Structure 1
């Protein structure tokens, strides 16, 4: 009899650097060939024709990147998610709608692993049989991520402070740590490919940051500690909920947290304008507020990490990608925003030089510095309601990274230190989430509330201000 073919869900994760580099290498070679062909083919073409040809090349490369990275569990897929942080911007605006459907699958493309293999990870990590730890355990995963799967289970007893005895159990794929480390060794190949899509990418800085953050994300004990820290910081918050953590059931490859039920992001999009505005403000206050208020923040604000509860509060989950920055770094960024909002180009230029965002040799003028800063805070510059769309975010990414942009000659000369990348990435992602809600908010006043101690201008702001007065500052 012929040997039966193994199901894709039961395939072992390749951990060899050579094997995992092969598919990436083929993709990179193809992209390089297309880029070379584009350069040759553009000789004698008009500017309009050159631009159209480059656009098609970027679209083809980006689509193949999604295909290859999406089928890999590990850092390769994680890098793909990081690079798609805006959900737009990897291809020129004229191809964005065409590319959206393909890109949207990237977060969900991690293949399932058979439960018998996942069960071994759970029992080995917790040192006991599944039935001894959980009263019930649903073997069908309720979610999949780049390095693991999430299951729903019921505990024998409800932990103190939890509203339920049901838990979310996140389990790493067996062998994923070796696969991720193989991917990290191949990171240069992936990032060189990404640079064909975003020529302004600082490969060295981004690579170092991804390596450090990805290593941390592999450690679920560290994630549990981050989760507990965020829960403490948001205890009794009026509209933010951080589910509890079952510390005694968390290991290096398993994390058990309070299960929360509610409406996902796709349902948020169907709500009234008023409710979408409210939800966008909660997202903005949670992620941005974490930076300005505490210097500690979840650095992965994609839509799947927020759940609208029945009482109107929003639960935030998944703190594997977590970052902490010093008070000095927070103040450096805050001062840059203050100067940008004040349109003080001279002061801003000197400040950006002092914190090493712009080298002395870059030849920046005060106007250049102001334009660079406004690329980062464009949505908050004017004192008015801003109704952001995904086109706005796409335009921002295009202007910052595409060589056809009028700002390209300026932004490519900036040298923002790598340690700031996560908070800047967070800012872009949070705004991208708000844009998907088609929300209308006065971001300017919220930012001034944080950075200038202005009077709060919204009901949510007043609720949070009262809560913060009781909690106190974390530093």
Structure 2
């Protein structure tokens, strides 16, 4: 076995041991609750689970963020605690950064920059960002992946499967098989910075004519599979900006809406991670979109299904709703199941149902969302459960994640008009042609 293989195996085994111990404790207590009748203090144990996992970099934190937008995939006590895992992992020191950069760009890598800051400007889940200046005097952001992240991702995904299996044994409301498949596929993609660079170039093209949105250019000659270099764009955190410029709340919300949904309704592509750290705000209220690791490409028929479900809900057309859910990937949905799914759909679609200016929180407030999720969960158990299709996971995450952003902004917007402007000329054949042309040009795989 080579040293590289030993290191990879060693990293994975260490990860399995650390995560496995925490998950094993959960399994033992869960078994005690189920078999012996010993009550499981979920809030306390969830906090213990987070404490046990808190020193680990990245993947589990990203998984927790995803799970927080999938109604009752796990009990909310666990999602609440896991979502507090810190996004800012300890940064790599300068000696380690030098070795990593040499591995990516060669031993003379420093000669390819006019300057390169030793201290990381930001540390995230899978890598850290360094400011630099190129030989052409462009300011740059160099995202360098942490070591052994592939091992970390595989270890965490294996343990996530065990966590899902544990809860499915006692609660049949939601089958998580396809949720796990989808999360696994997207996390593995996030490890490939060459793919992310193509995603970034695709987004720059898709949003080129969209006002209020900026996408930094990729610097391909300084990018590899584990190093992504983009132009540095200045901006502030959204909540800091709004605190100083409350008059820009509505404009910011509309810019965010277009940044996420112009690519979806025009190209069938969605940014699956509306996390507050993935964009910044310029002084004029326009936004910088920064991270392109979690991108989902949908078949044009799915996009049509999203619009069809909206129209079915407005018209209270049950047959059209059944067909829309089938297009979404729900296998042979019964009318009884559709009536339950519609509870959640009406919650998600509520802001774009009425032609009026309104706040998101009229129907999308946190307490209402929890109440709706609990109602859906109970009804799903009653009708025999559901297997959530893979396509649902990131579409739902985008909708709920953006809703959370709009809640923070306290924006009052006519969401109906924004949505209608996007779909007024929708044609699935034209979408397919645009998608094929754009994705092929930028080297992004077409949907199966």
TM-score bracket, shorter-length normalisation:
0.7 to 0.9
CA deviation after TM superposition for structure 1 residue 225, in Å: 0.9
The 1:249–1:295 alpha-carbon spacing in structure 2 relative to 1, beyond 3 Å, is: same
Among 130, 141, 157, the residue aligned to 1:184: 157
The 1:14–1:62 alpha-carbon spacing in structure 2 relative to 1, beyond 3 Å, is: farther
Once the two structures are superposed, the pairs formed by residues 364-375 of structure 1 within 5 Å of their partners are 364=336, 367-368=339-340, 370-375=342-347
Cα deviations across residues 397-448 of structure 1 (Å, max 9, x unaligned)? 5346547965444787343421332222222211122112222222222222
Provide structure 2 residue ranges, at least 5 long, that are not aligned to the other structure: 1-6, 427-432, 437-448
Partner of 1:310: 283
Among 433, 440, 443, the residue aligned to 2:412: 440
C-alpha separation in 1, matches of 2:175 and 2:351: 24
Partner of 1:172: 145
Partner of 2:19: 24
C-alpha separation in 1, matches of 2:360 and 2:314: 18
CA deviation after TM superposition for structure 1 residue 79, in Å: 1.8
Partner of 1:6: none
Once the two structures are superposed, the pairs formed by residues 6-155 of structure 1 within 5 Å of their partners are 15-35=10-30, 57-85=41-69, 105-155=84-134
CA deviation after TM superposition for structure 1 residue 337, in Å: 1.6
Provide structure 1 residue ranges, at least 5 long, that are not aligned to the other structure: 1-11, 44-52, 159-164, 455-471
* 8 Å CA contact retained: 1:291, 1:423: no
Partner of 1:261: 234
Helix, strand or coil for the counterpart of 1:206? helix
Cα deviations across residues 46-102 of structure 1 (Å, max 9, x unaligned)? xxxxxxx88xx443344334334442125333323322458999766xx89xx97x6
Taking only aligned residues, the RMSD between alpha carbons, in angstroms, comes to: 3.6
Among 413, 422, 445, the residue aligned to 1:450: 422
Among 241, 256, 259, the residue aligned to 1:283: 256
How many residue pairs get aligned? The number is: 424
Partner of 1:340: 313
Deviates more, 1:130-139 or 1:346-355: 346-355
CA deviation after TM superposition for structure 1 residue 305, in Å: 1.0
Among 413, 426, 429, the residue aligned to 2:401: 429
The 1:287–1:410 alpha-carbon spacing in structure 2 relative to 1, beyond 3 Å, is: farther
The 1:356–1:136 alpha-carbon spacing in structure 2 relative to 1, beyond 3 Å, is: closer
C-alpha separation in 2, matches of 1:398 and 1:408: 15
1:359 partnered with 2:315: no
* 8 Å CA contact retained: 1:134, 1:154: yes
Among 379, 399, 405, the residue aligned to 2:351: 379
Partner of 2:295: 322
Deviates more, 1:102-111 or 1:289-298: 102-111
The 1:444–1:39 alpha-carbon spacing in structure 2 relative to 1, beyond 3 Å, is: farther
CA deviation after TM superposition for structure 1 residue 345, in Å: 2.8
Deviates more, 1:65-74 or 1:131-140: 65-74
The 1:395–1:119 alpha-carbon spacing in structure 2 relative to 1, beyond 3 Å, is: same
The 1:170–1:194 alpha-carbon spacing in structure 2 relative to 1, beyond 3 Å, is: farther
* 8 Å CA contact retained: 1:89, 1:393: no
